[in-house]
Amino acid sequence: MEVLDIIKPENQVFCKSKLMTDTPLSYCPGCGHGTAHNLVMEVIEELGITADTIGVAPVGCSVLAYEFMNIDMSQAAHGRAPAVATGIARTWPEKYVFTYQGDGDLAAIGTAETIHACNRGENIVIIFVNNGIYGMTGGQMAPTTLKGMRTSTSPYGRDVETMGSPIKMTELVAHLPGVYFATRHAVHTHKHARKAKKAIKKAFENTRLKKGLSFVEIVSNCNSGWKMTPIESNEWMADNMFPYYQLGDIKVNGKLK
């Protein structure tokens, strides 16, 4: 690819959205959160819905999402973002409401809120960043930690006999009638980021059409928590996470794939 091809607007997946603030990201270098943030902001910018969008930040690495996203945001208690989003979406049915949550937040402490917001078909978007670990608290086991994966609370590897199996949230919620769109993506390459952005855009368009809940999982890396270099972590993710958390659409337009 020539330089002139790269700078064509449709190929630019890495420029900073105007809706990202100038606050330096608090994420570790190499982490996928920055790209995921930027994609969500690009979509909101392109759809021209800034004045009608309210985001809900979680507890976890992205607790400070509101420092980086230049939109109105409410920061929720750990796991409760789908309930907070419900409160907003029900009282402002014409607004675009999204949550941005990690795996510990969404799939452990917030499982009830996630399942029930999905089951009610709340007209919101859930962006679920799954890196298989608790990043902020220092690399503990998450509900999505892979079998045999070492973390600070599974130092000899996740034993599924005693610790349970990694939970596939997107497949799980896709079976609920309230979920209109369930899809899984990654953001570690330009190609993947472009696809993820397309899915995020579709999710927000579903909100406009009042179709119910759109659930976009982004399988991402945690180079610090996984104790790898950023490049190693992305390779490890492709080799180990993707076979278990397969990328692609799981439910589109209310129909399971």
Partner 1 sequence: MAELKLMKGNEALAEAAIRVGVDAYFGYPITPQSEVIEYLMTQRPEERTGMVVLQAESEVAAINMVYGAASTGKRVMTSSSSPGISLKLEGISYLAGAELPAVIVNVVRAGPGLGTIQPAQGDYFQSVKGGGHGDYKLYVLAPASVQEMSDFVEDAYAIAYKYRAPVLILSDGLIGQMMEKVVLKDQKERLSDEELIKKYDDWATTGKTDRPRNVITSLNLQPDKMELRVRKLSKKYEQMEKEDLRYEKINCDDADYLFVAYGSSARIAQKAVQLGREKGIKIGLLRPITLFPFPKPPLFELADQVKGILSVELSAGQMVEDVRLAVEHKVPVEHFGRSGGMIHTPEEILEALEEKIIKNGSIRHHKTRESSIL
Point out which residues bind partner 1 (CB under 8 A).
Answer: 50-54, 56-57, 63-64, 66, 70-77, 80, 83-88, 90-92, 95, 112-113, 115-116
Nearer to partner 1 by Cβ, of 57 and 219: the residue is 57
The residue among 171, 251, 172, 169 whose CA lies nearest residue 212 is 251
The residue among 149, 169, 161 whose CA lies nearest residue 240 is 149
Q: Are 214 and 196 in contact (CB under 8 A)?
A: no
Q: At closest approach, how far in Å is the CB of 34 from partner 1?
A: 19
Q: At closest approach, how far in Å is the CB of 4 from partner 1?
A: 35
Nearer to partner 1 by Cβ, of 87 and 157: the residue is 87
Q: At closest approach, how far in Å is the CB of 228 from partner 1?
A: 26
Q: At closest approach, how far in Å is the CB of 162 from partner 1?
A: 27
Nearer to partner 1 by Cβ, of 3 and 51: the residue is 51
Q: At closest approach, how far in Å is the CB of 55 from partner 1?
A: 8
Residue carrying the six token digits 């659409």: 249
